[in-house]
């Protein structure tokens, strides 16, 4: 299975978006959200509206790493540290066509794995970690990727962000994987004031409406990658600009 960004429009209005005290979404609520003060903490209604708008733009967001099963997803995310998804995909597409289990990875060996991923930054250390985590999966988990974040974090080369990505994509858990995009966007919008990835993760877990939680980190990653860019955010075409607390919004070019 190839995972890539797909922007889809839905013709049916689902029960997403701001909810009134009696539990109904109303046009009036939709129109007025974001028209209040642009400073101060976001309200629950505004946060709901933010994720409604992100959902409306892209109802089924996906990660952009190629993978074929939970194991190859885990490997791809490990390889993606300090590298672009496109660069990882270029190396893993031919690799995963033949090597898609821990057993096959050990058979390939560290030397040939290094050769296959040498276009990816830090490839020597990453190859060592992939071989080591593959051996651990065979020895301790029957060759399967465990659906447990603590177990994942115990594997070589796997940190909390990687574990959260795997838990979310492979096992459908509403985790918040905080990379540089999510960290920046969450603070700019006003969803968090955290100064560490874990504090941002905790804020997001607390404030993101449950019905949006499964896809929330994908929306924030893609928003940061393509709109809310580090150097020059494209605020003039942002669907949540009226709600965002970022004070230095970029004008249209």
pLDDT of residue 40: 85
Question: Active-site residue among 48, 66, 85, 179?
Answer: 179
Is 179 designated active site? yes
What does the alpha-carbon distance between residue 62 and residue 11 come to, in Å, rounded to a whole number? 20
- All structural domains of the chain with their residue ranges: 70-171
Query: What are the mean pLDDT values of the chain's consecutive 10-residue runs (253 residues total)?
Result: 37 39 36 49 97 96 94 98 94 97 98 97 97 98 97 97 97 96 97 97 98 97 96 96 94 91
pLDDT of residue 112: 97
pLDDT of residue 38: 59
Q: How many CB atoms lie within 10 A of CB 244?
A: 23
Question: Active-site residue among 66, 161, 229, 232?
Answer: 161
174 CB contacts (<8 Å, ≥6 apart)?
Answer: 168, 210, 213, 214, 216
Closest CA to 119 of 155, 102, 100, 95: 95
Query: DSSP E strands: which ranges in 30-160?
Result: none
Our CA dihedral for 56, 67, 1, 161, rounded to 10 degrees, sits at -30
- State the residue for tokens 């990835």: 197
- Are 119 and 125 in contact by the 8 Å Cβ rule? The answer is no
Report yes or no on whether pTM surpasses 0.85: no
How big is the CA angle at 153 (ends 147 and 157), to the nearest 5 degrees?
120
CATH topology for the 70-171 domain: Endonuclease III; domain 1 (1.10.340)
């Amino acid at each position: 299975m190839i995972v890539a960004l797909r922007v889809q429009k839905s013709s049916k209005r689902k029960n997403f978006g701001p909810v009134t005290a009696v539990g109904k979404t109303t046009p009036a609520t939709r129109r007025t959200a974001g028209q209040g003060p642009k400073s101060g903490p976001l309200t629950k209604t505004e946060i709901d509206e933010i994720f409604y708008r992100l959902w409306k733009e892209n109802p089924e967001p996906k990660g952009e790493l190629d993978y074929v099963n939970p194991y190859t997803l885990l490997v791809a995310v490990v390889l993606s540290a300090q590298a672009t998804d496109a660069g990882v995909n270029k190396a893993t597409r031919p690799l995963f066509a033949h090597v898609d289990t821990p057993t096959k990875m050990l058979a390939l060996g560290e030397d040939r794995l290094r050769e296959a991923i040498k276009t990816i930054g830090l490839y020597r250390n990453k190859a060592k970690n992939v071989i080591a985590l593959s051996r651990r999966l065979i020895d301790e988990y029957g060759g399967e990727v465990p659906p447990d974040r603590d177990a994942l974090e115990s594997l070589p080369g796997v940190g909390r962000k990687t574990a959260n990505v795997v838990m979310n994509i492979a096992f459908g858990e509403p985790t918040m994987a905080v990379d540089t995009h999510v960290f920046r966007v969450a603070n700019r919008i006003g969803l968090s004031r955290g100064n560490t990835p874990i504090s941002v993760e905790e804020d997001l877990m607390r404030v993101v409406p449950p019905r949006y939680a499964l896809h929330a980190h994908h929306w924030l990653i893609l928003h940061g990658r393509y709109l809310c860019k580090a150097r020059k955010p494209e605020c003039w075409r942002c669907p949540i600009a009226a709600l965002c607390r970022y004070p230095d919004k970029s004008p249209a070019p």
